[in-house]
């Protein structure tokens, strides 16, 4: 079983299953969702991730039909569903708290949706229930009471129930949050493989960025009601569109500085290839950051899908001396003893995480974090490859934001 979502994800040419066109949802004065555009492809595992209160659950409820947009429209396969009630949308919903009907048995729960539509594939109701319970690995459980099941089992029943009528879209609202860490990891692999085997369009909402990266074909990062980036997990991780994404998804070291010189050619330390870099002054130290080439494939990919530029890679205009930039370097790319781009930092403490040790440093009052094999002490020299630095913000010296 492949766990790497990106290997066989639906391509950019797959038809759009669910589309958000300038959707805003206001509660009184506050906009829970603020003018968002999304295009979720058929068969895609699409994850919406963000801190609590960012509007991700509202986004899911707009798809389900529990909320109606204040402005804009939600479309299923091209037709506007704004006025369509949830029961007429062919969606399956799984909630964090399972929401199993306590007065019905497991089998009756799974079969509830079949009271309103015939089971897909011409099978009988009983056969459908049996198939679904086998799919979620709970055969022979049909007559049990939901109360007698464990949390993980209940969640699997909830998934079977949502899938039973053969919905067009499966919606999962933080389905793992109430489970313990080990169970969560197992269940998310199971969900992913069920999704893959059925090829069902899936929208998954979570606040857990690790979960989002591990299961998704594409990830939408939300903040304050807006979508700030839509991209495959690797892109979100490697080329975050903003400082917020850089800091929200995984650990990161963020540097703010001013461009000192542009277009310098530098030899990469290990390989000898020549790369184009800019020099950035940070805390009176000059650091070199590679000028990234925008990837044509990626640009097409994300732009076509969402209508917004979301990969935010590097400089969109040539940097000039005096421009302000923010760039980031992942902890594993900050190496002890590396001469290039080196700074001297004081060790503040270390966390032993099993696989690795996370070392906390300060450099001119700025916290840094790096992954090391063993704890460090005193003060150390750390450096990074210019190509591992990723620019997330770029403002021209005249104040215009050009990134």
Partner 1 sequence: MLTAATVAILVIVFYYPVGTVLIEAIVVDGRLTLAVFTNLLRDPFYVGEFARLFTGEGPVAVARAFAAPDRRLGIVGFTAYQAVLSTIVSVALGLPAAYILARFEFPGRQTLRSVTILPFVLPSIMVAVGFVATFGRNGTLNAVLSAVGMPRVELMFTLEAILIAHAFYNAPLVARVTTAAWESVDASAVETARSLGAGPLRAFVDVVAPQLYPAVLTSAALTFVFTFGTFPIVLALGGFELATVEVFVYRLARDLQYAEAAALAIVELTIALGVLFAYLRYEAATAVAARRVRPLPRKSLWPDAWTPRALFERAGIVTYAGIAAVVFLAPIVSMLLASVTTADGSLTLDHYRFLLTRQQTGAAFQVRPWPAVRNSVLFAGASALVALPMGVVVAVITTRASRGRSLVGAVAMAPFAVSGILVGLGLLRGLVFGVEVAGWRIAVAGSAAIVAAHAVAGYPFVVRTVAPGLASLDASLVESARALGASRARALFDIELPLVWPGVVAGAAFAVAISMGEFTATVVLATGADAYTMPVAIERFIGRRLGPATAMGVVLLVVTGFSFLVIERLGGEVHDY
- Judged by the rule CB under 8 A, the positions of this chain that interact with partner 1 are 64-66, 85-87, 89, 91-93, 95, 97, 99, 101-103, 112-113, 115-117, 158, 161-162, 164-165, 167, 171
The nearer residue to partner 1, 33 or 313, going by C-beta atoms, is 33
In the complex, least distance from residue 146 CB atom to partner 1, rounded to whole angstroms = 11
The 8-class DSSP code of residue 167 comes to -
The nearer residue to partner 1, 116 or 296, going by C-beta atoms, is 116
The nearer residue to partner 1, 97 or 266, going by C-beta atoms, is 97
The nearer residue to partner 1, 64 or 280, going by C-beta atoms, is 64
In the complex, least distance from residue 288 CB atom to partner 1, rounded to whole angstroms = 52
The 8-class DSSP code of residue 188 comes to H
23, 33 Cβ separation under 8 angstroms: yes
The nearer residue to partner 1, 128 or 218, going by C-beta atoms, is 128
**CB-based contacts of 362: which residues, under 8 Å, 6+ apart?**
345, 346, 348, 368
Q: From CA 102, how far away is CA 109, in angstroms rounded? A: 9
In the complex, least distance from residue 160 CB atom to partner 1, rounded to whole angstroms = 12
Please give the full DSSP string across 337-391, using - where no structure is assigned.
T--TT-EEEEEEEEEE-SS-EEEEEEETTEEEEEEESS---SEEEEE--GGG-EE
In the complex, least distance from residue 67 CB atom to partner 1, rounded to whole angstroms = 10
Please name which of 243, 326, 339 lies closest in space to residue 289, comparing C-alpha atoms. Answer: 326
Please name which of 149, 125, 124 lies closest in space to residue 137, comparing C-alpha atoms. Answer: 149
In the complex, least distance from residue 153 CB atom to partner 1, rounded to whole angstroms = 17
In the complex, least distance from residue 163 CB atom to partner 1, rounded to whole angstroms = 10
The nearer residue to partner 1, 111 or 312, going by C-beta atoms, is 111
The nearer residue to partner 1, 31 or 164, going by C-beta atoms, is 164
In this structure, the strands spanning 201-206 and 45-49 are: parallel
In this structure, the strands spanning 79-80 and 71-76 are: antiparallel
In the complex, least distance from residue 114 CB atom to partner 1, rounded to whole angstroms = 9
Helix (H, G, I), strand (E, B), or coil: what is residue 100? coil
Strand order of the β-sheet with 226-231 is 91-94, 169-173, 201-206, 45-49, 218-223, 226-231
Please name which of 243, 386, 339, 334 lies closest in space to residue 347, comparing C-alpha atoms. Answer: 334
């Amino acid at each position: 079983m492949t766990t790497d979502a990106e290997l066989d994800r639906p391509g950019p040419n797959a038809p759009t299953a669910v589309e958000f066109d300038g959707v805003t949802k206001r509660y009184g004065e506050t906009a829970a969702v603020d003018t968002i555009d999304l295009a979720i492809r058929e068969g895609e595992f699409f994850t919406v991730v963000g801190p609590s209160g960012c509007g991700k659950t509202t986004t899911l409820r707009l798809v389900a039909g529990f909320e109606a947009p204040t402005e804009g429209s939600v479309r299923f396969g091209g037709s506007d569903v704004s006025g369509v009630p949830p029961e007429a949308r062919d969606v399956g919903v799984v909630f964090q708290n399972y929401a199993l009907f306590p007065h019905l048995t497991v089998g009756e729960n799974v079969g509830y949706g079949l009271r309103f539509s015939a089971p897909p594939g011409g099978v009988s109701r009983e056969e459908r229930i049996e198939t679904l319970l086998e799919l979620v690995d709970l055969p022979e459980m049909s007559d049990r009471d939901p109360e007698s099941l464990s949390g993980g089992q209940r969640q699997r029943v909830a998934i079977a129930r949502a899938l039973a009528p053969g919905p067009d879209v499966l919606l999962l609202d933080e389905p793992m949050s109430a489970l313990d860490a080990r169970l969560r990891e197992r269940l998310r692999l199971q969900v992913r493989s069920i999704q893959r085997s059925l090829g069902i369009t899936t929208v998954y909402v979570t606040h857990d960025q690790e979960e989002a990266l591990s299961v998704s074909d594409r990830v939408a990062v939300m903040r304050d009601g807006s979508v700030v980036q839509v991209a495959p997990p690797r892109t979100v991780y490697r080329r975050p569109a903003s400082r917020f994404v850089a800091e929200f998804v995984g650990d990161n070291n963020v540097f703010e500085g001013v461009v000192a010189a542009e277009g310098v050619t530098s030899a990469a330390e290990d390989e000898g290839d020549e790369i184009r870099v800019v020099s950035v002054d940070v805390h009176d130290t000059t650091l070199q950051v590679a000028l990234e080439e925008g990837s044509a494939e990626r640009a097409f990919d994300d732009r076509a899908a969402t209508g917004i530029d979301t990969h935010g890679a590097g400089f969109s205009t040539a940097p000039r001396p005096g421009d302000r930039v923010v760039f980031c370097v992942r902890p594993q790319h900050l190496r002890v003893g590396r001469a290039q781009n080196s700074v001297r930092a004081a060790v503040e403490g270390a966390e032993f995480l099993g696989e690795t040790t996370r070392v906390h440093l300060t450099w001119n009052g700025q916290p840094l974090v790096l992954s090391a094999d063993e704890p460090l002490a005193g003060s150390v020299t750390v450096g990074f490859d210019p190509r591992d630095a990723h620019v997330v913000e770029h403002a021209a010296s005249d104040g215009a934001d050009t990134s």
